[in-house]
Each structure stands twice: as structure tokens, then as C-alpha cells.
Amino acid sequence: MRLHSLVFLLPFLFILGCRSNVSSSGEERIISFETFGIQPNSKKNASIFAKKLIDSLQKIPADERVKVIFPKGRYDFYATGSFTREYYISNHDQLNPKNVAFALENLENITIDGQGSEFIFHGRMIPFSIIKGENISLQNFSIDFENPAFRQLTILAVDENKGEVTASVFPENNHVIENHKFYRTGESYELNLFQAMPFRADRRLAYQRSDVAFNPKEIEEISPNQLRIKGWYQIPLTSVGERFALRSHKRPTPGVFISQSKNTAVDNIQLHYAEGMGLLAQMSENIFLDGFSVALKGKDDPRYFTTQADATHFSACKGVIVSKNGLYEGMADDAINVHGTYLKIIKRLDAKTVQAQYMHPQAWGFVWGEKGDEVQFLESEKMELLGDNFTTKIASIYAVDQPRAFGAKVFEITFENEIPKEINEKGKFSVENLTWTPEVIFSNNVIRNNRARGALFSTPKKVICENNVFDHTHGTAILLCGDSNGWYETGACREVIIRNNQFINALTSNYQFTNAIISIYPEIPNLEGQEKFFHSGIVIENNTFETFDQPILYAKSTDGIVFRNNVITHSDEFEPFHWNKHRFFFEKVKNVLIEKNQFENGFNPEKDVSVGERFALRSHKRPTPGVFISQSKNTAVDNIQLHYAEGMGLLAQMSENIFLDGFSVALKGKDDPRYFTTQADATHFSACKGVIVSKNGLYEGMADDAINVHGTYLKIIKRLDAKTVQAQYMHPQAWGFVWGEKGDEVQFLESEKMELLGDNFTTKIASIYAVDQPRAFGAKVFEITFENEIPKEINEKGKFSVENLTWTPEVIFSNNVIRNNRARGALFSTPKKVICENNVFDHTHGTAILLCGDSNGWYETGACREVIIRNNQFINALTSNYQFTNAIISIYPEIPNLEGQEKFFHSGIVIENNTFETFDQPILYAKSTDGIVFRNNVITHSDEFEPFHWNKHRFFFEKVKNVLIEKNQFENGFNPEKDVRIELSEEKGIQIK
């Protein structure tokens, strides 16, 4: 192995040795920055003098070696007076023009030596760009920004009873509060900071709290740089001393930008902040980082954050990337990411020519390839190479949508050979540039306390990752990826050596691709259809893993994994939490060797290695939803994909007008190793009003329903006088929040028969206050006085409840897909109009749609009065039995004394123009309902499963009237005598046409 490594390093050593001596003979010229008229610590705008410097460098012959030195001190660079450039930067926002302090363009043999100076930047700008340069070196200085885009909150006090925290803001000033939103201001731009990275006081990112939304109901600046924050879901979770680094998702400018350059060295540079990547290199050859760090300013730095995105990022480079002796901490993304970019083939012009396009909105506008570059082709759904190791070379390439590659998205590429015949625009095919793929050495670095992942490698050339410390990376420490469907980042790894690294309690929260400490996770939508493996040649040896949890290695679509001579020890720092309960989890792999490892707590292959059927192990706990909305108005949640929550996906209570468009509780595509999503419902609306619109969502893998809309009955526990009662929340998971307000309209219910009291009697709340708490917050018992005398029969000896009619919503649930979830699909319990249309209920494990109502167990109101279920598709719903699952559509209020009931509970149900594909009999069950129309529906038969349900009838009715069944199509025929069961109902109340 030593000899092999030596052979591998010889080209690197040759390049390293040449990079300071490739110029001509003669001594190195020394130029001092002060000769251009500026002294350190002067606070003058150094951008003006940087332009003078670079103008002078442009006049020096290219073969002369030049070192520019900066007398040690502080230099301030402002956007005003700097270079203005149009740059297209991989994995960044393509905003132009950009301000640049040092635009090192078309230069050779230049060293910038800061001699320990501090370079401080003001405004949105790129500190250094190296464009079409050769033998450029940056060394011995630090980079920081006076007014970063981040703001950091330090929690000073927490008052859970009041639901508020007090926090200080750092850096101070340069912010405003508008409509209870926080904006960073100053130095030419402002940003709404809506997301947060939560840090413990010891600078570790908070356990199991990733990508925290900063969306409090109220923010008040009670004194300069001190905030009072109310109605934020983090309040019960936080504590004094925690920091929240507030940020946006913008990434306009890296700290160092390298493009189309060769032999670039960055040594002993400390970068403390950038609004994008710390260092971004694209289409460049041979890059050497030694002591480049993205880090805080030591233990006393008040900041806990550094860059907005990755510390270092290399897109479509070649030669070698060496990154060693660095410290990477506090980033909002990874320490290193090495990849190329797939172009999607959008048109085939002839046997050798295609049009291909950059697809990701942050990756376009820069050169993709050159004549003579070697390429290969990929089918994107299966992530499989086309042909038998087929490659060819570019004969010509030019931009289609721009005069040149600069700023282009679409290219016309002609190849030297005919390309595989199956490539066309109808399929999903991509092209990968193999020439622009680098070898990588990532060694002797420390990565700690950062969001997301540690190191990402996606290159077919050799990768050595050795002697690093991965210390509390919030997600996966090392990821080998590959994706031609989302980020379009190439490519397959062929030889990766991960050795002699130390992993200390990595993976303390979940992010994308974070299935284990080391995650080999290409994105493959059609993994089952894949025949060729994506990654290969992975060796993981002589590492130490100190971990509090189980998952060490996850691998997908990989041929050749060696995991040997590693030591795994146990830590008690955190409680285990990860969904992956296996040391090793393999999906579609072969040639795997696990040998000679030491496990402190032992190793049981049957338990610790997972290959095959999945069991989603869970408890019944549901402590936290993914999105929590309370006492809010006009809330919109658009195009959000929630992949997991330990409670509901979205829970809204006592809120008015909620609009979901494209909100999904879903897996991360077909190749997601998870089969589960939320611990409970995908969406749940308790005691809301106005309108709830939920459309264009995907809901799958939940442990409960896709949507549940209801109010909450309070049980009357004491009558105080003719107008006053004490009433109580009854379910152990439903209490502590506001139930009603003065002026709300209410009605009363006898719980055994689920009958309303009086002749449509309603009244309004005159006053309401908590009995067991100082206020409604945290209360279970309320004293309520009404405007009118209430029915005389109401007392504590019977079973009576009160329902708040004001807090009941209209519902539109449309164009959603609900599939592969436990329990039921959609639940509606509201007297207001409900439209459920154009949805697909695909293999819901229980009932697809339930209309309920219960004042004895869950205490969930209320009676439906107008429900339209139309144009939906039901595909083999009800493959198992759960509560209330008597048919595909189940109208099932809980009524202990159904026989004694005189008034019907539900009414006004229309089910029309739906299709039911089913292997079993029960289509509709209804209880205590006045008014059902079932018409123009199509029922077809499926052989996917054997019939099993106890209900052997298409229609089962208990205590119903005014039922109409007409104009339906039954593939296997319809026999009313056999297919309709009627109990506690008059047959004349049921018409079948």
C-alpha cells in the first residue's frame, strides 16, 4: 500500500515542485501594496488601490515571477471603487454584475502575500477572483466581512409560561423588524432572515434540530439589539446560552473564485465569512490548499457561524485537488464538495449531434467542455451508463442560447463517434465530461460543528481521504453521491480510500443523504430496474468511529466495498435517534467485505446488517410536528417537501385561512432508503376557521392520515348556573391551547347518542377563562358563560359536550396523491362545505376517506353538513383493518347509543364521478347520515390481493335515510340484494337506480 500511494503522489509532487519555478530565470520581483498609496489600518477604501495594483500587474511580462506583499495590518475593501464583473459561478445565485476586490485575470506567476494581514470587506462582493490564471498563489492573510448577511441571536431568557424568549442580536445594529419579520440591512442590500442554525453554548449544533424555521408570531425590539420573541416553535426547545444563526438561502458570492485557471495555490488563509462558498473553483486544473481554513477567530469569537454554503467546492476541475491542514467549522453546508455537472440531452439532431442543457438554476453560464474532451452517456432514471463502457470525444461544441459559452445554458455538441441509438429527447439521458474530473487528496483537516455533511466526493478519479477529524458534523461525515435528476452533479466513484480518520459523534441530526456516518448514496429513481452498479472500489480502513448511535455505513448501488480494521466505540453524549438502526445498511450492492473490525459493544450480523424487507420501527410518541401553526391568519405553505417529523407533518390549530400548494409529506424519490415519513398525520387541522385549501401534494409513508380536519369537544364537568359551566379538554394529547373566544358561536351535544340539544339551539360565549391555569396557555379546564340560558338537561351527571361552531372551516382538498400510508387517507369533521376532488388514493392501508365525529374518545368534532367527493381515483385502498375502516369510504361517527338516537349526525354527502379499482367488496359504509348521493362512479376489479375484509357488501348502511345510488358502473355487476346491507334504517329511505 505504501508503494501504491507513492506512485499515486509522484505527479502531485512534480506539480507542487514546479508551481513556484515555472517562470523564467531571474529573481522574484517584490512589490509592496503600500507603494500604491495606502497604509495598513488607515480605514481608507483599499479597493481603489487594489485596482491600481492589478493594473500594474497586467503590464509585467507573464514569465516574470512577482510577489505582492502587504505590510501587516488591517485593510478595508468596499464595493464602491472595486472591479465590476459578470461572472457565472457554479452552485451560486447567478446575479450580475458582481463587485470584486482583487480581479486577478489573465495573470501568471503571481503571489499575493498578506504577511498576516486582515482583509475586511464591506458590502456584497467577491474578495478574490482568479480567472484564466496560471501559477497564482494566495497566502498569509484572513478574509472577513464587516457586516455579514447572517445575524446571530443569543438566548438571554426563556419564559415557557408566556411562550416567549429574550435574545440579543450580533452583530449589533443593521437590522429592522417589519411585520414581525427580521431583516438584515446596510451596505447596499437587505435580506429577510427566515431560517436558523441552532447552536449550543459550546458551539455544537443542537441535537436533532436541523434547518430551523425562524417564523415567530411576534418580534419586538425591547431595547437596542435586544428582542422579545413570541409564538416560535423553538421556545420549548431552547435554553439560555443557545445561539441561533439567522440566515437566508441566498448564495451570491464566494470568498475566493477560481475559474479556467491552472496551478493555483491557497496557503495559510483564514476565511471567516462569505455569503456563498468559502472557495469555489470551476473548470480549473491543479488546485492546492494548505492551511486554508473556513473558521472562527478562535475560542473567543462571538460568532458561531462562518459561510452561507460549503467551505470549499470544486465543480468540473481536473488534474489534482489537494486540500490539507485546514480547519472547517460553522458552515451552513459541507467542508468540501467535488463533482462535475451532467448536461441533460434535450434534443438529438443526428447520429453524432445533440443539444444538451444545464438544468439546475444555480449551475449554468460557464464553460462545460472543449473540443477533444472525453465524454460518456447516462440514463438518468436508472443512473446507468449507456453502451459497453462506451466513450467518445467532443468534435465541436458551441452555445445555442448565447453567442458564446459565457452565460449559456444550452449547447450543441457534436461527437467524434456515433452515440448510442437509444439517446433521444423522449427519454431521460445525460452526458458527462470525463476529462474534467480530478484526483483528490483530502488530508489532515478538522471538520466540526457544521450543518449538513462533511466531505462529498463524486469523481471517477482516485480519492484519498485520510488523517482527518470529523467532529460533530451535524449530518453524514462523508458522502459519495451522484445525481442526474436534481442537482445534476456527476459522477460515479471508482477508487476511494477512506483511512486513518477519526469520526466523533457525527450525524446528530437528519439532512438529505444522511443515512449513516459514511453514506454512499447516489440518487437513483429506478433502483429496482438498474442492472449496472453506479459506484465501485470503496475502501474504508483503519478509522475510528466514536458514536452514540447505530448507523456507520450506508451504501447503495455499489460494486466493491471493503470495511476493515476500523474501531467503533460507544459514546453517551446523546440518545440514539436515527431511523436507521443498523451498523451497515446495504441496498443493491455486491462484493462487500467486512473484516477485522473492533466493536466495543459487539457485532451481530443478523441485527447490525440490513439487506431486504423494511420494518419501520416506531413508538407511539408524537412530541413535535414539522410545521406548527397556531392562532394565525392567512398562512401559505407552498412547494415544501417534508420528509420526516416525529409528530404530524403540519399541525394547525385555532388559525384562519390556510393554503397548502405543493406541500408534500414524502420520500426523497424512488431511491430513498426510507420507507416512512411522519410519526402521525401528514397534515392536521384542529379548530380552524375560514378556509383550508390543500392541493397538489404528495402524501406517503405516514404512520397515520394524509389530512384530518376537526374541532375539539369540551366535556361539561360542572354546571354553575343557567348560563355558566365548567368544561374540560379530555384527550391526553389535546389540551393546553385556546379553545374559544368571546363572541364565538357554540352548540351542545349529548355524547351517548351524539345528538344536538334543543331545536337547532346555539348561543355565543359571553366570557371564557381558564380554571386550572392563569390563562388558556397550558389549561385543561375552562369556565364559560354564555349569552343565553343553556338547555336545562345539561349537568355534570350526564354526558354532555360543547362544540365551538365559529372555529370550523371550509375545506378544499384537491389534486393530491395519497399512497402507502398507515391507517386512513383523508378525515373530515366540519359542518362547513368540504370539496374533496381530483385526488389519487393509492394503496392507503385503511379507509381512503373517513367522515367521523366523536365525543367519547378523541373528542373530535363535528358533524358534516355538505361534503362533495368527486373525480377521485381509489386504487386498492383498504388492504388492512384499522379503527373506523369499514369500507373504502367510511362515514363512521362514534355513537355509543345508536339505537336510541333520534336525530341523524351527518348529512349532505355527495360521492360522484369517482373510480374505484379494488380487490375486495366494501365501497361505502355509512352510519347516522341523512342524505347520501352515490352516482356516476366506476368500480373495477383488481387481482392484486385476495379479498379479506369482514364486510362483504358494496354498501353497508346503519341508521340512514335519503340515500340515492344511481348511474354507477360495476365491472363485475351489481346485485342490490347481495351488495347492499341495511340496518336500523327504512328501505324506502334508500333508492337504487
Specify the fold of 338-433. Elongation Factor Tu (Ef-tu); domain 3 (2.40.30)
Alpha carbons 982 and 990: distance in angstroms, whole number? 9
Residue 295, exposed/middle/buried by CB under 10 A (0-12, 13-18, 19+)? Answer: buried
Pick the CATH number of 628-708+808-932+954-964+978-992 from 2.160.20.10, 3.40.30.20, 3.40.50.300, 3.40.640.10: 2.160.20.10
Residues 6+ apart with CB under 8 A from 389: none
Residues 895, 898, 903, 905, CA torsion sign:
positive
Residue 512: predicted pLDDT: 86
Cell numbers for 923, please give them.
Answer: 365501497
Asked whether the bond before 11 is cis by omega within 30 degrees of 0, the reply is no
Q: Which residues pair with 749 in a beta bridge?
A: 756, 801
Cell numbers for 584, please give them.
Answer: 451497515
**Cβ pair 992, 963 in contact under 8 A:** no
Phi, psi of 888 (to 5 degrees): -60, -45
Specify the fold of 29-147+253-332. Pectate Lyase C-like (2.160.20)
| Domain boundaries, given as residue ranges, for the chain | 29-147+253-332, 151-247, 338-433, 445-611, 628-708+808-932+954-964+978-992, 713-803
Taking only the tens place, the pLDDT of each residue in 649-666 is 999 999 999 999 999 999
Residue 421, exposed/middle/buried by CB under 10 A (0-12, 13-18, 19+)? Answer: exposed
Cell numbers for 288, please give them.
Answer: 492546492
Could you tell me how many residues make up the chain?
993
Q: Which residues pair with 826 in a beta bridge?
A: 707, 849
pTM value is: 0.65
Specify the fold of 713-803. Elongation Factor Tu (Ef-tu); domain 3 (2.40.30)
Alpha carbons 626 and 624: distance in angstroms, whole number? 7
Residue in the structure block whose three cell numbers are 385526488: 839
Alpha carbons 393 and 376: distance in angstroms, whole number? 9
Give the chain's residues under pLDDT 50.
Answer: 1-25, 613
- How many beta carbons lie within 10 A of that of residue 712, not counting itself? 25
Residue 26: predicted pLDDT: 65
Q: What is the DSSP string of 724-780?
A: EEEEE--STTS-SS----TT-EEEEEETTTTEESTTT--EEEEEEEESSSSSSTT--
**Cβ pair 103, 70 in contact under 8 A:** no
The DSSP 8-state label assigned to residue 972 in this structure reads: T
**Cβ pair 259, 128 in contact under 8 A:** no
Residue 903: predicted pLDDT: 93
Helix (H) or strand (E) holding 606: helix 605-608
Residue in the structure block whose three cell numbers are 512534480: 14
* Fold match, 338-433 / 628-708+808-932+954-964+978-992: no
**Nearest Cα to 233, choosing from 595, 573, 625?**
625
Residue type, 710: H
Alpha carbons 209 and 196: distance in angstroms, whole number? 10
